[in-house]
Amino acid sequence: MKTYEVMFIVVPNAADEEIDRIIGQMEAVVKGAQGEVVSVEKIGKKRLAYRIGKFDEGYYVLFNVQATGEVVKEFERRLKVADSVLRYITVRVDQALKRVEKIKAARLKKLRKKSAGSQPEATASAI
Amino acid sequence: MAFAPRPPGSGGPRKQFVRRKKVCKFCVEKIDYIDYKESRLLSQFVPERGKILPRRISGVCAPHQRKLMDAIKKARNIALLPFTAD
């Protein structure tokens, strides 16, 4: 199981129900394959940095899922087929986050060493 | 004898540049994970034209510039940042 972030853009003139329908469908795809939807965030309407088709705006939705590559493949296929989805991007985040944790832990350790016993409050503020 | 090298210090008014030491924003602010979704942060490194600001100007350290580059390219794909400005 890996953690992925899938962000996609729905056409700005889509109704709320349409957006909810897409989100529901996508959740079903993940859950149907023993995946887990960690979070779904409707970021909302945003200006696009460039025109896509004939749209200057888009409705951004962010999925955070825990699943296998196969599930993500199906997820992407669904997005590709959906007419009201302008664009999507999938990013695998678990490796990057693990690395960040490591860096943070190392930094904390270093700080602890530096101010061993002398100023314990300095460690807490500098994270 | 007109071509004799000038002793240092003489000669015309030479501008003294005081170059400020550039520091990596990500190191200073301890931003470990450069997220492609934070378009406001990324746009500081994408000038008008839409190109990625080189390290020699922004002062970002090499490891962070690499991450930054990845993030900007992802952000471009999802229309958070422009590929070009016209």
Phi, psi (deg, nearest 5) at residue A54:
-120, 25
* A60 and A48 Cβ atoms separated by less than 8 Å: no
Stretch B55-60: mean pLDDT, rounded? 92
* A77 and A26 Cβ atoms separated by less than 8 Å: no
* Contact state of B36 with A100 under an 8 Å Cβ cutoff: no
Selected from 3.30.43.10, 2.40.110.10, 2.40.160.20, 4.10.640.10, the CATH number assigned to the domain covering B25-77 reads: 4.10.640.10
Would the pTM of this model clear 0.90, i.e. be above it?
no
The conformation of residue A8, written as its DSSP 8-state character, comes to: E
Which pLDDT band, with edges at 50, 70 and 90, does A48 fall under? very high
- Look-up of token digits 């825990």: A66
Q: What is the pLDDT of residue B11?
A: 57
Residue of B nearest to A89 (CA): B78
Residues of A in contact with B37 (CB under 8 A): 7, 62
Residues of B in contact with A91 (CB under 8 A): 36, 74
For residue A58, give the nearest of B32, B33, B79 by CB distance.
Answer: B79
Examine the pLDDT at A115 and tell me if it is beyond 60.
yes
3-state secondary structure at position B6: coil
Poorest-confidence range of A71-85, B9-23, B28-42, B46-60?
B9-23
Stretch A10-16: mean pLDDT, rounded? 91
Q: What is the pLDDT of residue A117?
A: 62
Stretch B53-67: mean pLDDT, rounded? 93
The conformation of residue B29, written as its DSSP 8-state character, comes to: T
